[in-house]
Amino acid sequence: MGCGTWAWGNRLLWGYDESMDAQLQEVFDVCVGNGVTLFDTGDSYGTGKLKGQSEKLLGKFAQAYVGLNCDRLCLATKLAAYPWRLTRGSMVAACKASAERLGRNVDLAQMHWSTANYFPWQEGALLDGLADLSEMGLVKGVGLSNYGSKRLKWVYRKLRDRGVPISTLQVQYSLLSTYPVTELGLKDVCDELGIQLIAYSPLALGLLTGKYSENNVPKGIRGVLFRQLIPGIQPILDCLRAIAADREKTPSQVALNWCICKGTIPIPGAKTVAQAKENIGALGWQLDGGEIEALDRTVDRLDKVMVQNIFQTK
């Protein structure tokens, strides 16, 4: 999959209207042309009146693209563990519906979250369905999202017994969300099992871009969260700015490169060409050991960090 990746999910749909399609197609084209070939979405992104719009848009953009790296495109989607999905057949049907919206087969099908924290009895059948997708040749690979080390090992054994490898694991990971690696040890487990770790929300919902302050926050729930976090995360923002200035990069690019240096594939979102180009600027270079140590040391002393996804298991 390479280290240059992009996320297309619910962020794509915030404030979305059809007039944005041409702009988003241009963003897609710029990404692929610069070697960004993995695009991630989910069947729960764009539900209700949007009717799976995220997958529909991603499929539309992929079909329209004819430039460099066209043959390397990898379209990944996450299949939600909805309470009404109770059988292995429901997962197969869900993936087929995603493929119809994409206009092509899903390359990487992922279990969006584990039900271990609330309905553990539901999970086995859904994982069987995920393995069925691989055995039926409907997908090129399968992955997981929001799984911790203990639950990951259980799923690994379950799918291994059917000869189905786990290709990827997505977790919330950034300078403000190191818990999956530092507390759960997921990177070591993934390396041991041959699983690629994917970092979603690598810019911590935009906090690590440095563009927000206590007097400049988004509206709604994000604004409430940001006001709580911003006073306590100033040390890491200052550290990012200092390294960025020395490197002639931006804080966002440094934060993304840190994720890459930690052996993960970060999947930031972008709705404009400018955002896409800035994120692409995180590729092709690496922070040195001293810079990584400075960032890690600063993170260890922070008063506040991002809240964890409620579906994250141990």
Other Cβ atoms within 10 Å of 213 Cβ, number: 13
Asked if residue 8 has pLDDT above 50, the reply is: no
Handedness of CA 148, 151, 154, 158 (dihedral sign): negative
Mean pLDDT of the chain: 91
CA angle 152, 157, 159 (to 5 degrees): 95
Buried b (16+ CB within 10 A) or exposed e, 110-138: bbbbbbbeeeeebbebbbbbbbbbbeeee
* Burial class (CB within 10 angstroms; exposed 0-12, middle 13-18, buried 19+) of 35: middle
Q: What is the tens place of the pLDDT at every residue in 185-232?
A: 999 999 999 999 999 999 999 999 999 988 899 888 889 999 999 999
Instruction: Check residue 50 and give its pLDDT.
Output: 52
Which secondary-structure segment (H or E) carries 111? strand 108-111
The CA R_g of the chain, rounded to the nearest whole Å, is 19
Which residue in 45, 147, 173, 212 is the catalytic one?
Answer: 45
Q: Partners of 162 in the beta sheet?
A: none
Please give the Cα distance from 44 to 53 (Å, whole number). Answer: 10
φ/ψ (deg, to 5) at 104:
-170, 165
Asked if residue 75 has pLDDT above 50, the reply is: yes
Strands 5-7 and 196-200: unpaired
> Is CATH 3.30.70.890 the right assignment for the domain spanning 5-206+264-286?
no
Asked if residue 1 has pLDDT above 70, the reply is: no
Identify whether 179 is a catalytic site residue.
no
Asked if residue 13 has pLDDT above 70, the reply is: no
Instruction: Check residue 134 and give its pLDDT.
Output: 98
The length of the chain is: 314
* Secondary structure percentages of the chain, helix, strand, coil, to 5: 50, 15, 35
Residue carrying the six token digits 């749909």: 13
**Domain boundaries in the chain?**
5-206+264-286
Structure token digits, residue 48: 């209700």
Structure token digits, residue 170: 């997505």
Q: What is the tens place of the pLDDT at every residue in 107-141?
A: 999 999 999 999 999 999 999 999 999 999 999 99
